Structure 1
């Protein structure tokens, strides 16, 4: 897969900080992202539905429509029942809205510190796709996939009445880990745990926010999104396993022993 050697670096973090908690875009971004991430998906349009997804994304925003994505965080307030979290993750929310020219507004998705994480089966499915792409990039034999625990397929669709998106897009991960995390968006139709992941090109957090909103508009439900964070000893290597976390900068995580962190 092209760009598997891409490293987020300080530019990704700078993009998030410079946005000051708000990014927005209109129809032209939908057109650009359809060309960049759907038409140029790894291996071409490897999923049978990708040509239709491409056309749907071209039409998902009309002239004058706008998508707003907000992300912000604050220190915990014990008086309000928001205690300091052992991981160090701060209180905050990331949410996406679409505003149409007729004045209507709709929540596309939202994620915060209390948003439940996806089941372990989805994490294994995401890791298998990442490891396969990494092996192909290095010209190595693709390792056997990690079995999916079908007893752990929970994927929260709503929390507090709002559609949910990956914990990788929570504010603390955006601000503190965007300079270290590779972001991926699953281009497959959501909902079927047995359907193979169609992995997007690796991208910065800024692009993942926009593509996740556009995928939600095109498919009607938020896509699977995840982040991979490598340590020095795992950088550029095909991993044997992963360590699951909700907050990449969690200092309570012990040595990963050559395994990247997976945030979902």
Structure 2
């Protein structure tokens, strides 16, 4: 892939994500029309749909041969990563968007022939853009993020983990996860997978573990983590399939093996 083409795509994606975020800030206090999807806590609003339509329109007008995999269904039926594929979550953290009016993000991961090229995560209300271009590092706004600290012990680490995964009815051995929670310095949960990836990449958290994420939840975060020296796999250490829902574990390489070997056991 030519560098100039990748840069042009990045510039368009960055401009569009900033424009979409500004619009969300402008309408944040307007009435919302809220529906549910898979369950009563799986929320969607007209702004999720309108934001996704905004991206779909601009991408199709500018890059008609590019395909879109997106949460709200305005993209394409994507079954392979051939060519260019944009993986988009128009509002990641819709529950936060509805209830708190903050702590939500727009997430875009752009792949070419199966290889991640561009990652963008926009913390809308704080006007903070996390971004990466393959081989060029990751950035928080215009400041380059350093490589992840590889000297941390588990006892010094903060793990991003939803407390649900420590319950008996989760998909993981709750006893081992409870042991992990006691071992680390602390745990956090922010309600937006994209922001949780961004916080680990930034170094204000040290690992992110989830038992259920869709491609649009993690497509951008994986690419940004790659650029700071992180590793992202399924929870048990197996490779992820970017087109399908997956368990996810993302952190620095030193902590990764220790946690997957000793604390992560998926139930059959």
Report TM bin, short chain: 0.3 to 0.5
**TM-score in terms of structure 2 length:** 0.33
- Greater strand proportion: 2
**TM-score in terms of structure 1 length:** 0.33
Higher relative contact order (CA 8 A, sep 6+): 1
